Amino acid sequence: MNSTKVIVVVLVLAVIGAVCVAVLMRPATDTAVTPPEPKSEPTAEAQTPPPAAAAQPAATPPTAASEVQLYGAVIDAVSGSPVKEATISLLKRERRRGGDEADAPPAEAKTDEQGAYTLDVPEGEFRAVACAAKGYTRFEQPMDGKAQGKVRMDFQLQPGGMITGSVVDEADGKPIEGVTIRAVSSQQNFMEMMMERERGGDRGLRAKSEADGSYVLDGVPEGSFRLVVSARRKGYLVEPDDERQLEIAAGTTYEHIDFKLDKGASVTGVVVNTSGGPVKDARVMIMPTQFFQTAMRTMNSMNTDPFEGMDGRTDEQGHFEIIGLEFGTEYRARAESDDYADGSSEAFKAAKGSPAPQITVTLAKGSTISGVARFASGDPAPNEMLLLFPVAREAWGQFEGPDTQHTSDKGEFTFKNVNAGEYLIRPRGFQGPMRANFREGSTPVTVAEGKDISGLEVIVETEKDAGEELGSGVITGTVLTADGKPAAEVRVEARDAIMPMNTNGATSEADGTFTIKGLNAENYDISVEDEKGIAEEKGVAVGTTVTLKLQPPAHISGTVVTAAGDPVASCPVSLKGLDEEEVDETSPQFMGAVMRDMFGGDQGGTSTDAYGHFEFTKVKPGRYAVAAKSQSSGTAESDPVSVDVGAKVDDLRIVLDPGVAVSGVIVGPSGEMVAGATVQLVPVGSNQMADMMSSLLPAAMVKTAGSATTGPTGEFTMSRVPAGKYKLVGAHGTFARTSTEVTVNKGVDVTGLRLALQKPGGARGTYAIDGKPQPNVMVMVMGPNGFQMVQTDSQGQFDVAGLTSGSYMVTAFDPARFAEAGQGGMQFTPRVVDVAEGQVAEVDMGGGGGAPVAGTIAGSSGATTVVALRRPGGPSLENINVTNISEMIEAMRYLEGQTIVESDGTFTLGNVEPGEYVLEVYSVDVNPGSPDMSGLMNAMRTPAHRETITVGAESTPLTINLAP
């Protein structure tokens, strides 16, 4: 395994880190009554819908008032009795950020005494129909956009639990109004929680405190939940031990679940222009100067509160106040206004008991940069993404990252409100591949304050310029029906073969042709899933043409039931493809398999209806397993199912395993019980790379079989845990993150676990170039404690805290140096530091001294050439097992550094201490401007060149020819 794999793992984790979320009760079977008929409907239409479908089109023509009319009944899933005063509402496809609908429900109805309702559907697109009633869990069913006439849709509601309590000020006991309390499934991580919020799926699981501080969460499904509080917008801080963990039983009320919150700090200030005049209605955001470290901490605590509510707007006099900040944390205020360039304040801290900091943000009249992007042929480059990349080091410390714009159909572009400074404008993606020298292919621009720049010409080079028929970033093709005729109005999807979350698509024209643009990877899986048929072509290279011939889809359906045989409603169900071959690290599909193992890659997803029924209607031929996971009733996976073209399998019965309880305590280094610790059970699978990378991710991003927050005596319990192997991970802000392995056997509770957290260690140092400390550099630390990232301060210093004892690899990425020197400036110079429990280790990053090792590489056959220098005695780089953190870090002790060769074949490794080294050259056939992650991970295992060199006090140029 060569070192390219190591740096790729580090950079991928850096991106991930910088980035940055069901019901039990017995459905009615034998005891259920026939749903009552709506009073206005004929008796002939009052039949109970069969379990295979919760809604069926009726033969009655549409009413004059609406083309579609929903009708049906709502019953109690346990007793079968009608539910009156239930609200049936339509949900639009558009939603506001955070899961709220864009508008109030466009139409809703209430059930009568017999539980019956009718609802006229107005014009528009609706994603689902929701049913809610007091004392019951909320239930949604998808809305068929092609339905017409009278459509029957019945609901069986599951009784839920109720949580009540209050939110008050810790200091004076006064009630706090408007605080949001959310019930989050203990089997969800942070990312799943956020996705649920975006979909609006948590609407029945959140409440706001009233004027007297009280709140009510009604209809909470049976299961294990964490109560998460968001209070920054009210000026209060939420600590990990403010969370509550509850095991909810249907029909039970949980009273006095109270929260006492401490008031946070505040900051006041003014936004002015360069003349001192106020800037009104400017948006002000408060950002921690150690943004990445705060993001990591947030994702480990699995609460969004540290980043919510830290913004506001200025009044007529330019004044603002933002509340709910942490004491002792360093922040900057950043202001935005449509009429000015963005600006930032000096760094500040708030001290408890001291007056609020008062700051000023000055905004200058920004400049406009405009011009035309053209291909090398001279033709305009339409719909091209351009990157405005700041070169100044100061910009990267004030959250002033690259800006992006798309060119118009005529290739025109405009960047508005640009601050004074030096920039590079360059195409992004395949239309402008990143060369070894970042400045090559870029257009340099120097902006003077308040001075506009126009008439710029940016050249966009593509494969089309080199004589290829199609430009890179585009896949074209034709969709044909099974009998060879053009298939019009069919959606064609392109999914990145390595990063499946990256997708794009197009709709076929009348002649069946399609063009998918804006593709940034090298290979895509192209597919069609439509009522007209399905088709798939894997591994399609960008710039090629494909023909997709539709074939009848297969159909898989069935029912999910509890261990007692009762149907389970609202149970998430997914298809797992079993035809995927095992892949090793040399396979092009290796990285894709890793991502699927880490984040899930099941084909399609749905939920059971009110009768526990599910169906997948657009299934390609193959072998599958159906996986079901219910918050309240457990998990299960079906036996393998094989389907041919157009085949139907409609009798699957998925019996859920309720799982077991896993419980124990979290203690500190001296055996003291630790309250408010986050505990997770992380599955350990067969993919070693996925397991390794998962161990480096923050808690919020890894799959979890259960999570909990420890109580006052350090106790925790996670319920409904399926059998398997896990890592039990404990984290707390005061201690170092710690883990241990746990095996869970089917049907056997795990009790008495004891996880001891360590005293936190740390690593600190200075990042320098030629002996000069460099600010605003990202420093990444990887080891047994996972992955962390911080920025150097104005003196080039960094400090990483909260580390478990062990060996860590420390490396850095300097965006300003990258902008100045390109990839040749991305010298990867890892340092290995040994951290003892409770101790802080010093690490030197890029000090002065030593001589450069430089030279020229000729005859490289790959798109990217890497030069690595290691000290004798260590393992050869291609033999590093990247799935073993300890082995990888130990090997890094011997790596002096590596760099990417410039496009002219030159390379430089700076500050190399005199001595003997092994120099190795790797030729990697991958485009670094739009990297194929699998290609990078599977770079040549054997170096194209290897030799032993002696480095003296001065540089001796090397000439290396890779040609055979």
Tens of pLDDT along 289-338? Answer: 887 777 777 666 666 555 566 889 999 999 999 999 999 999 999 999 98
Closest-CA residue to 186 (of 653, 714, 719): 719
> Which residue is it, tokens 């599977």?
938
- Does the structure show a pLDDT above 70 at 187? yes
> Stretch 331-353: mean pLDDT, rounded?
92
- Does the structure show a pLDDT above 70 at 660? yes
- Looking at the chain, the whole-number percentage of residues with pLDDT higher than 90 is 40
Beta strands in 198-348 (DSSP E): 206-208, 214-220, 223-230, 236-237, 244-248, 253-254, 259-263, 265-273, 283-288, 311-313, 319-325, 331-337, 340-344
Residue 498 has what pLDDT? 65
CA of 144: how far to CAs of 59, 491, 504, 575, 861, in Å? 16, 18, 24, 21, 54
Q: What is the dihedral of CA 435, 437, 439, 440, to 10 degrees?
A: -60
- Does the structure show a pLDDT above 60 at 102? no
Q: How confident is the model at residue 377 (pLDDT cuts 50, 70, 90)?
A: confident
Which stretch of 95-99, 498-502, 931-935 has the lowest confidence by average pLDDT? 95-99
Residue 103 has what pLDDT? 47
Q: Are 331 and 267 in contact (CB under 8 A)?
A: yes
Which stretch of 88-102, 393-407, 526-540, 753-767 has the lowest confidence by average pLDDT? 88-102
Which stretch of 54-63, 109-118, 638-647, 793-802 has the lowest confidence by average pLDDT? 54-63
Gap between the Cα atoms of 197 and 188, Å rounded: 12
pLDDT in tens, 220-250: 988 888 888 989 899 999 887 788 888 899 8
pLDDT in tens, 415-455: 999 999 889 898 864 333 334 455 667 889 999 988 999 99
Quick one: three-class SS letters along 257-293?
A: CCEEEEECEEEEEEEEECCCCECCCCEEEEEECCHHH
> Stretch 44-50: mean pLDDT, rounded?
35
- Looking at the chain, the whole-number percentage of residues with pLDDT higher than 70 is 77
Backbone angles phi, psi at 4, to 5 degrees: -60, -40
Structure tokens at 556: 């898989």
Q: Are 284 and 333 in contact (CB under 8 A)?
A: yes
With both helix axes pointing from N to C terminus, report the angle between 3-18 and 291-301 in degrees, rounded to the nearest 10: 80
Residue 648 has what pLDDT? 92
> Stretch 579-605: mean pLDDT, rounded?
54
- Does the structure show a pLDDT above 90 at 190? no
- Does the structure show a pLDDT above 70 at 80? yes
Residue 24 has what pLDDT? 22
Residue 8 has what pLDDT? 38
Gap between the Cα atoms of 179 and 209, Å rounded: 5
Residue 29 has what pLDDT? 32
Residue 599 has what pLDDT? 53
Q: How confident is the model at residue 589 (pLDDT cuts 50, 70, 90)?
A: low
Which of 342-351, 375-384, 855-864 holds the top average pLDDT? 342-351
Backbone angles phi, psi at 313, to 5 degrees: -130, 150
pLDDT in tens, 824-850: 556 788 899 999 999 999 998 876 667
Mean pLDDT across the chain = 80
Phi-psi region of 789 (alpha: psi -120 to 50; beta: other; left: phi over 0): beta
Gap between the Cα atoms of 917 and 540, Å rounded: 42
| pTM for the structure as a whole | 0.76
Gap between the Cα atoms of 785 and 737, Å rounded: 6
**Strand 453-460 to strand 367-375: parallel, antiparallel, or no bridges (unpaired)?**
parallel
Residue 124 has what pLDDT? 76
- Does the structure show a pLDDT above 80 at 401? no
pLDDT in tens, 840-899: 999 988 766 678 889 999 887 666 788 889 988 887 767 777 677 888 888 889 988 888
Residue 105 has what pLDDT? 64
pLDDT, greater one: 194 or 119: 119
- Does the structure show a pLDDT above 90 at 164? yes
Q: How far is CA 938 from the centre of its chain?
A: 24
- Does the structure show a pLDDT above 50 at 132? yes
DSSP letters of 690-758? HHHHHHHS-GGGS--SEEEE--TTSEEEEEEEPSEEEEEEEE-TTSB-EEEEEEE-TT--EEEEEEEPB
Q: Which residues pair with 209 in a beta bridge?
A: none
Residue 952 has what pLDDT? 87
Gap between the Cα atoms of 428 and 441, Å rounded: 10
Residue 49 has what pLDDT? 38
Q: Are 399 and 310 in contact (CB under 8 A)?
A: no
Residue 36 has what pLDDT? 40
Burial of 913 (0-12, 13-18, 19+ CB in 10 A): exposed
- Does the structure show a pLDDT above 70 at 92? yes
Q: Are 652 and 640 in contact (CB under 8 A)?
A: no
Structure tokens at 397: 């410390």
Gap between the Cα atoms of 814 and 811, Å rounded: 10
Q: How confident is the model at residue 272 (pLDDT cuts 50, 70, 90)?
A: very high
Residue 194 has what pLDDT? 67
pLDDT in tens, 710-735: 988 999 999 999 999 999 999 888 89
Residue 882 has what pLDDT? 67
> Stretch 560-571: mean pLDDT, rounded?
89
Residue 270 has what pLDDT? 98
> Stretch 584-608: mean pLDDT, rounded?
57
Which of 161-170, 186-195, 456-465, 607-616 holds the top average pLDDT? 161-170
